[in-house]
Structure 1
Amino acid sequence: MSSASSSDESPLRFHPRSLQNMKVTHDGTIARRQNTSFFTRGLVFGTRPITQGEKITFKLMEVAENLGGFVYVGFTSRDPDTQVGVSCQKIARESGYWTWFFPKELCTQGRSLFYYVNNDGEVRYGVDDCEKGKFPGAVRPLQPLWPLFDIFGNSSSIRLVQAPPSNKSTTNRRTVPLSLHSTHSRSLRVTKNVSQRLDKGYTQGYVFSERPIKPNEGVLIQISPSQPGPRFQGFVHLGVTSCDPAQLPRDDLPDNVNHLVDRPEYWVLICDFSKLNCGDEIGLTLTKSGQISFHLNGGKFKGVVHVDATLKLWLFVNVYGTTQAIHLMTCPEPAKDEEKECVVCYDNAIEAALYRCGHTCMCFECAVEQWQGKGDGHCPLCRAVIRDVIRINK
């Protein structure tokens, strides 16, 4: 049985020809139902046949509140260019189509869902890079297979996500060790740029960079967790602080990392990294404007926060769960401000910072809506309560 892989073919896109109630935008990566009062009429195809083992990854971008998202996925052996008047009802009755209902419990807004066909014709599926099972039956893999989607029910748009590159972020990049500070939690041992746990405890894993990180500096955190235990998997929390570690007593740090933001110093906390595996790398870059972007394994974008770049900022990491060690590296290549689209509307540029979590992931209009009602007052990335929305002037 073969496993999923990336493809050397051109990037997969939605077919530009609109079917019934669908509109394709953003260079073919987003398909949206134009009239959301219809709960059907959401059929759309891919632009090319897939290869065996190629992951088809997508996100449900708009799901009605208090109700689940729904999507059928599948394949067709018929070229979408030749299909006229095709409908969801028609493909259910005719040969040359294979469709499955994606498990409802996985269909939540913003999660990365995927499916692929292996050499045996099995169609397997999963979420967030974790395989969950296989759909019943099989397809005939030795023929062209175009992917298809039926966006219906309370889902109104999906976005195709290109698979991240298989190589790590250090490939073709020059890195040098970034030393860790002598101030650290009691459960850690620090040697140069390596932090190692001394016991089996799950908390009190704080460690700091020896010096403030520089504007336009990139940092790599290399993860070395142990085998998953019965209670936790590999976790790290990270962020920046204006607190000089040399002035910080070792026992003056809370067991609960969320309490750091209540301290009098400036602390910005990022809690977006869990289920880490040995060899994973978290990349972090700070620009002169105060934008911090962070990634996983070189290509999988995780998010952006905006910080006060007028302060001296030390990087801190809380080694948590079954994660046993981290290696800290720095990348001398200058970092650039990344122009990202709002994670809600996918039309406008990011121009708002959320207080107090610090995430910058939305345009100002969507951020206000997320704060005052549509998003139930929570950050869409970390689910922290939004206290205020600050417009970013670039």
Structure 2
Amino acid sequence: MSTSSSIESALRFRADRLQNIRVTHDGTIARRTNTSFFTRGLVFTNRPIRINEKVTFKLMELSEGLGGFVYVGFTSRDPDNLQGVTCQHLAKGSGFWSWFFPKELCGTRSTLFYYIGEGGEVHYGVDGVEKGLFEGVVRTNQSLWPLFDIFGNSSGVRLIEAESRETRPKARANRKLVPMMLHETHSRNVRIDKNVAQRLDAKYTQGYIFSKQPIKSEQSIVIQIAPNGRGRFQGFVHLGVTSCDPALLNRDDLPDNVNSLVDRPEYWVLICDFSNLNCGDEIGLDLAHDGPITFHLNGGKFKGVVHVDATLKLYLFVNVYGSCQDVHLSTCAEQSKVEEKECVVCYDNVIEAALYRCGHTCMCFECAVEQWQGKGDGHCPLCRAVIRDVIRINK
């Protein structure tokens, strides 16, 4: 298996002549043809899976009063050579892994997913939120085809994309994004420039970056995925917060497996793992004053919430991995409640400059001049108006 960044065909069910399965709707739906048989519902996907690629699906037409739900799993045996077999047959040989999907998560309105992590561990969750790991690990040095065994009260399964692109909103014209500066500490396979992080080519792990300053109560953070890119690709990011000051970290301390961070002595919380991201997607994070962090994709419907210890100074961290190339971090100016006396660029000096002609006072004099004549492209970071002059003020 690999984390190749090449674009592959969409994950679909194989349209084989199966014992008790009919595949329809361009390979996205698999149904048991004879629901009086509560077994013989084994179906495979059309291609092997990649590490960290989510298999996302919904159950269809659950029958009342019947036990059972769905097996999910993987096989390293080519489905071309598995015509007419059942899960029971596969279980007797090698190269086969399967699990009951937790019954309490299953329902026709739930979006379920599972995937293989970099260490061979198999994650599962519902509605975009991680719920746990299946028992055991999978050998990842070989091709692995996802499989479903549809039985019991489940009469069908529908494959879907991990995140729907139909709900992506148009950018609000009056929204003001302020760059969220990144700390100089980062892992070895990523480069940073102010608020932009770019993963090095052909390097699929060790893409950790940190916010330069602790996040603030009532702050809204926007993470843009390759906003200047085009097309579709399988991008991935881990998000979390930590009480560890990035200045005290050595890049060699950062693990390949992000789940190992919680074993460190500092306070680390993994907020969410977003997969199947496309160019132009936006992840939003909002920190409430009493600790909950809500997260969502593309400004759409609510996706999840994580409770953190708001009494600590918490830094945001992002792990850019898989095929995701670059991310841009910003805060939403109309909601971020920026301190009046703190420069929004360096966060170190007090505000002592006014911009002509827009009139905004948001930077120290040094950063304002740099924004005007240097790397800031000559535009106000709040409203993007052209800077004509910088005036030193005393506040």
Shorter-chain TM-score range: 0.3 to 0.5
In the superposition, the TM-score normalised over structure 2's length comes to 0.45
Relative contact order higher in (CA < 8 Å, ≥ 6 apart): 2
Larger radius of gyration: 2
